[in-house]
Structure formats: C-alpha cells, structure tokens
Structure 1
Amino acid sequence: MKKLFIFLMSLMLVVGFLPSLSSASTKGLKVHFVDVGQGDATLIQSPNGKTMLVDGGSKSSSVELVKFLKEKGVKQLDYVVATHPDADHIGGLIGVLENFKAVNFIDSGFPHTSQTYYDLLTLIDQKNINFTVPKELDKISLDEQLIIRVLHINDEAKDSNGASIVLKLTHNKVSFLLMGDADTSIEDYIRKKYDVSATVLKNGHHGSKTSSSAPFISQVKPKVAILSYGKNNSYGHPDTAVEARLKNVGAKTYKTAVDCDITVTSDGVKYDVASSCGKMQSKKPSTPAPVKKSDTKPAIQPKPTQTYFKNCTELRKVYPNGVGKGHPAYQSKMDRDKDGWACER
C-alpha cells in the first residue's frame, strides 16, 4: 500500500493535480530606479506583491512617474516614503497620491516652508493616509522576506538634506542601500554604527561631491551603484571623483540620465540589472544624418525677459517652477533651504 501511495502521488505531480515545488515558489523582488530627471524615485515591488515608493522626483516628472507605476501594474502603494522635503524628491508625489491609493506615508519630519511640501501634507490629510515619522532602526513591515530598516533620520537637522531618511533593504543575500540626499557626515555616522555593506547602492545626493566619500564607498563595497540625476543639470552631477571611487571598488555604475529606468531583480541569492535605454541602444549606434548647411549656424538663445525679482511671488509669475543655481534670475536669498533651487513650489 505504501508503494502504491507513493506511485499515485508521483503520478498526480506529473499530470499536474498537485503543485510542484517550483510552481509554488514565490515571486522575486524588483527595485526600480525611475528616471525622473534631476531627482529621485525608487519603486520597490516585494515578493508578496506589496509596493513601496521612495521619493517621487519633481512636479514636472509627475506624469511620467504615474505612467511608469501603471505600466508596472501598481494598483495601490502600501508605503510611500519622502526621504526629505526637497522639491526634487517630493514634487512628483502629489500626482502619485492623486492617482493611487496609498496606505502609509513615511516622512522625515523635517519642517519645511515650501508650497510643494504644504500641498503634499494637505493631500495626505485629505486622503486620510496614515502618516508616520519613524525612529532610527525602525523596521518597515512590507514583506516577511525582506528586512527594511531606517538607518538614519533627523528632524532637527540644520538643513533638509541632513534630515534624509536612509534605508537598508535586505533580501537574504542581496541588499540595497538607499541614501536619499545624505551627505558625508551622515555616511560617517551610519558606517560607524551599522553594517552598511550592500549589493546595490543608490548614491546620495545624485552623485554630488558632498556625498559618497572614499571611506564610505570602501565600506559599502557595492556591486552595483545607481546615480539618479538629470541630463545637463546645472549642479555638475555626478562628480567625477565619485565615479572614480565606485570604479575603484569594482562597482558597475548605472545612471538614469544615460540608462533611463533601471531595474534590479533579486531572488535573494542572485540579482540581475536591466535598463530601459543607454546600454541596449549603444549596441547598434545609429548612423548620423547628413548635416545641412542651414543647420550649422548656432541657434540664437533668447535672453531672459526679466532677471531680478523682489520676491518669490513675483519670480513665479515668470518662472512657475522656480529657478536653479546658475540661472540669471537665481538669488541665494530666495533659496531658503539652500538646495540650489530658488522659489520652488
């Protein structure tokens, strides 16, 4: 009888009446570093099907970010994290919350006076989203297969970047370190207190020289580094020294300005990296079109109609999204959070 039972069980497996071990296995983890121009946005799709969005780029990237989330099948966001209240991290979250149900919102708690931050908080209140300011080492319970912990948060920081929430996500043997806009002082703090080694590092502050110090990179020892920034940005991101440090530790660097959307897939042991452009396109370089004589003349750049404004209200009448450092109308006194962007909403 025992032999007959074993035979019948084997037969049922073969013909499909019972699930095999492979068909019962869980889905993998997907972490998407979304191309939102000069900003940050990271979508985490966990093995159990839950989702978490960390930052959302600027307001100008909102439409594309919403489109990306829909393309990835997102119906609901279980967690939304604003690492800090700078416009290039939270601006796009307004459009996201208008288009998707969000269950929990995690905030740095850093007080900010921008209209963008005020509008975001108002929307969170209107939609009755659970609002939390976590503590250091708090765990975000997204999936039992994942460990997501807060390694840094400081609502009393001297500036918004210093308040950045730093997250470490561990999926068995594959780990991710998401640095927000954390600078070298925060890097020094967390590397002396915690295990910061990670398979994938989303570098702090878009690859700026204010972050990604040599001691920190050497301790993280990432296999993959993600630099999220916009093409031809006025800040000089990413810094060449940062790229050199990543190369020195053997990290494979991906850039949203070059590779567009970057997706890291993990089964907990192995990982794969795919990008939506850049590397794939470089395999078949296109033949340049012949240049017409009329095209060789340099385009005449129109001069700004106005470069001095008494206050942000007046400036936004001409430049609704504010202006960046290096723009003729930029004034440091109007850049209250000292993030290199004046009068952002």
Structure 2
Amino acid sequence: MKEMKMKRFFSVLMAFALIGGFMPTADAAAIKELKVHFIDVGQGDAILIESPVGKTMLVDGGSKSSGKHVVDFLKAKGIKKLDYVVATHPDADHIGGLIEVLNSFNVTNFIDSGYVHTSQTYYELLTLIDKKNIKFTIAEELDKIALDPKMVIRVLYADENAKDSNDASIVLKATYNKVSFLLMGDADTAIEDYIRDKYDVSATVLKNGHHGSNTSSSAAFISNVKPSVAILSYGKNNSYGHPNAAIEARLKNVGAKIYKTAVDCDITVTTDGVKHSVSNSCGKTAEKPAPAAKPAPKPVTKPTPATQTNFQNCTELRKVYPKGVGKDHPAYQAKMDRDKDGWACER
C-alpha cells in the first residue's frame, strides 16, 4: 500500500511539472539572449532593447524624418508592442521619430527627462502620450526600470532642472549577467565626471554621448568605462563634424572596437550574458575603421552689408537666411535656438 502511494505521488508530481509547475518549458529555454539594436537614424539616436524574456524598450527615436525607418525596423523584428519608451531628452533628433512610433504601437510606459522644452515636436509628443493614456514617468537618479527580472537597468543620471536639454539627458546602465551597456544620451563631460565619481561606469558596450562630439567622451571617462565595443550614432556628412577624431583615438587607446551608424547602418549586439557578438545591416565590419578624417569646420553664414540682422521669429529670419544662422552670426538669437545646438532656425 505504501509503495502504491509513492508511485501515485510521483505521477502527480511529474504531471504538475509538465503542465507548468516548475519544469522549464521549451519556450522559456529558447529565450536566453539579450539583443540591443542601435538603429541608423542619421544624425540622432534610437536604441531598441529586446530582453531575454521577450520584453521590449525603445530609447529615443531619432528625428521625425526617421520615424518610418524606426517603425519599419521594429516591425521587421516582430515587435507588436513596446513595454517601455524612454526619451533621454527633448531634442528633435532624439524624440521626433517617437511620434510615429507611438502612432504605430501600443506603449505601456513612457519615461521622460522632465526637462521643459517649448518645441512643437515635444508638445506634439506629450499630447499624443496624453491622448493614448500612456503611463508617464519622469526619471530620477537610481530609478530601476523593471523591464526583465534577468536584467538590471538603472538610471545613473537625470536632471529635469538642467540648464539646457543636453544636460538633462537620462543616462542608463543595463546589465545582463556579466555583460553591460552604458547609454549616454547627449550627456557632456561634466555629467560623465559626476557619474564616474559616484557609480561603477565600466561597461562592455558604450553608446558614446552626443554622437561622438568633443563635448563628451573625455579621456578619463573612456578609461573608466573601458568598453569592448563603442557605438557612435551620427549622420553621414553632418555639419557638426561628428564624430570628433580625438574621441575615436581615445576609444582605440582602450582597445574598443568602434562601430558607426553612418558606416555600419543598423548595429546589433547580441549576448547570452557572458559572451557577446556584433552584427550590422551593411554587411561591413567596423573593427578596424579607416583613419578618421579631420572634421569639416562648421559653416558660417556671413551677412551681406546692410542686411537685416534683427528678426521677430524664425519665419522672418529664414526669408533672409534660409538655412538658419550659427552662434557667431550677428542675427543669432538664443531664443530661436530651440534645441540649443548653437544653430538657430535650422530646418
């Protein structure tokens, strides 16, 4: 009688396990990898995270003109919805494409820098978030984003009261077992100094701040991060001279393999938490990039004598200077430089 009871007990136990008690299913065993995609959006940032258990997070979405490419990229990856969308800061080259994303996918959570921006693009984005009743959160330092229990995603920096939009950039560190990603938004060297003094900034993969500009990626910071892989997200032949040649030299000095969206197109880092690999949609490798060319000087529009230099708004200014004006131009006004990039009324 005792033997019969034991056999029955083990039969019930096995049945319980097979219907989902504690024996791993085939699907659970199959999903082990983390994929982080650095989407080629030209002069901007857009990063898709596909977690080991199939959760999704989009960090930035490029400019408005990049929105369709971002949406097409997500659909090609089989994305049906987004668990999180993060806008690191409200510059147009980071949030413009998110409008088309929100119009194309259901989004559960939206995390924002909280920095108040007066641009039409930011207003349109906030209106859409409200209309779709998406949960809206302002990031705070040391927040933990609960995307996936197998991962740790922390906010290392956020400042809604920053003096400009770049200084409001949300900095994220995502860790899966032994492999980590440091996503710097457009954070400058002062923010880099702040976080490296407070936190462990070492990372396997670094998405360099501000598209490889020399306002970011100081030598001290690169030495602390010591990435195996560096991602530079920028547009081909951009007018800013991104990426700066000195930044690439610093990355090479620590042994980082450099990948560039302007060269390698969409870049994907795949990891099981121990090993990682990098692929790109252009079918090229950026492990041994050609020597960086000297950045082209930023164009300066010289006013003709007796030309008007005082304008009420950008519409009036563009009648005289169709491409806008740089910071060193007599017609430049800070109030017309909405994204604070040193160029007013650009289209």
C-alpha distance in structure 2 between counterparts of 1:143 and 1:338, whole Å: 35
What is the match of residue 292 of structure 1? none
Kindly provide the CA deviation profile for residues 98-138 of structure 1, in whole angstroms up to 9, marking residues without a partner as x. 01110100000001111100000000000000000021101
Matches within 5 A, 1:170-185: 170-185=175-190
Residue type of the alignment partner of 2:185: G
CA contact (8 A) 2:156 2:173 kept: yes
TM-score, with structure 2 as normaliser:
0.81
Q: Does structure 1 retain, via aligned residues, the 8 Å contact 2:63–2:94?
A: yes
Alpha-carbon contact 1:175-1:199 (below 8 Å) kept: yes
What per-residue deviation string (whole Å, max 9, x for no partner) do you get for residues 253-283 of structure 1?
000000000000010000010011162699x
| 1:150 corresponds to 2:155 | yes
| 2:18 counterpart residue number | none
Q: Which amino acid aligns with 2:106?
A: K
In structure 1, runs of 5+ residues without a counterpart are: 10-17, 283-305
Query: Structure 2 CA distance, aligned partners of 1:330 and 1:167?
Result: 38
Give structure 2 stretches of 5+ with no counterpart: 15-22, 288-306
What is the aligned counterpart of 2:313 among 311, 314, 317?
311
| Contact 2:260/2:286, CA 8 A, preserved across alignment | no
Matches within 5 A, 1:1-345: 24-277=29-282, 279=284, 310-314=312-316, 323=324, 325=326, 331-333=332-334, 334-343=336-345
**1:139–1:19: structure 2 CA closer, same or farther, 3 Å change rule?**
closer
Aligned equivalents of 2:39, 2:325: Cα separation in 1? 22
Separation in structure 2 between the aligned mates of residue 239 and residue 262 of structure 1, nearest angstrom: 20
Secondary structure of 2:147's match?
Answer: coil
Aligned in 2, Cα 1:132/1:19: closer, same or farther, shift over 3 Å?
Answer: closer
Q: Distance in 2 between matches of 1:279 and 1:264?
A: 15
Alignment partners' CA distance in 2, 1:62 and 1:21: 36
Counterpart position of 1:303: none
The CA deviation string for residues 206-260 of structure 1, in whole angstroms up to 9 with x for no partner, is 0000000000000000000000000000000000000000000000000000000
- Look up the equivalent residue of 1:311 and give its one-letter code: N
Cα 1:73–1:202 shift into 2, 3 Å: same
Q: 1:329 to 1:66 in 2, by over 3 A?
A: farther
Cα contact 1:234–1:325 (8 A) shared by 2 = no
How large is the Cα RMSD of the aligned pairs? 3.1
Deviation at 1:40? 0.2
CA distance in 1, matches of 2:216, 2:86: 21
| Structure 2 counterpart of 1:224, one-letter code | V
How has the CA–CA distance of structure 1 residues 23 and 121 changed in structure 2, closer, same or farther, with 3 Å as cutoff?
A: closer
Aligned to 2:19: none
Any conservation in 1 of the 2:43–2:62 contact (CA below 8 Å)? yes
Answer whether contact 1:87 1:344 (CA < 8 A) is retained. Answer: no
Instruction: Give the stretch that moved more between structures: 270-279 or 256-265.
Output: 270-279
Distance in 2 between residues matched to 1:323 and 1:69, nearest whole Å? 34
Task: Return the alpha-carbon distance in structure 1 between the equivalents of residues 344 and 276 of structure 2.
Answer: 40
| 2:325–2:332 contact (8 Å) kept in structure 1 | no
Take 1:152 and 1:268, find their aligned partners in 2: how far apart are those partners?
A: 24
Match of 2:163, SS? coil
Normalising by structure 1, what TM-score?
A: 0.82
Identity level (%): 73
Could you tell me how far apart the structure 2 residues matched to 1:324 and 1:260 are? Answer: 30
Is residue 31–residue 54 contact of structure 2 (8 Å, CA) maintained in 1? no
Once the 2 structures are TM-superposed, how far is the Cα of residue 344 of structure 1 from its aligned partner?
A: 6.4
Please give the secondary structure, in 1, of the residue aligned with 2:110.
strand
* Local SS of the residue matching 2:29: coil
In structure 2, give the amino acid aligned to 1:336: R
Aligned residues: 309
